[in-house]
Copies of this chain bind each other. A is one copy, B any other.
Amino acid sequence: MPPVLHGPVLDALGRRITAGELPAGAALTLDGIGAEFGVSRTVAREAMRLLEGLGLVRSGPRVGIVVLPHDAWNVLDPKVIAWRLDGPGRASQLRSLTELRQAVEPLAAACAARGATAAVRDELVGIARQMRKLGEAGEGDGEEFLALDIRMHELLMRSSGNELFSALADVVAVVISGRTHLGLMPAYPEPVALDAHEAVASAVATGDADAAEEAMARIVREVRGALDAGAPPTR
Contacts and interface: CB of A to CB of B under 8 A. Distances in A.
Interface in A109-156: 111
Nearest to A50: B53
Interface in A212-227: none
Task: Determine how many copies of this chain the complex contains.
Answer: 2
Contact of A164 (B97, B165, B167): B97
Interface residues of A, number: 35
Residue of A45, A54, A100 most packed against chain B (CB within 10 A):
A100
Contacts of A168: 76
A190 interface: no
A40 interface: no
Interface in A19-55: 42, 45-46, 49-50, 53-54
Contacts of A42: 42
Given A102-B107, A104-B103, A163 B77 contact: no
Contacts of A75: 163-164, 167
B111 A161 contact: no
Contact of A46 (B46, B103, B104): B46
Contact of A166 (B46, B71, B103, B235): B71
A74 interface: yes
A76 B167 contact: yes
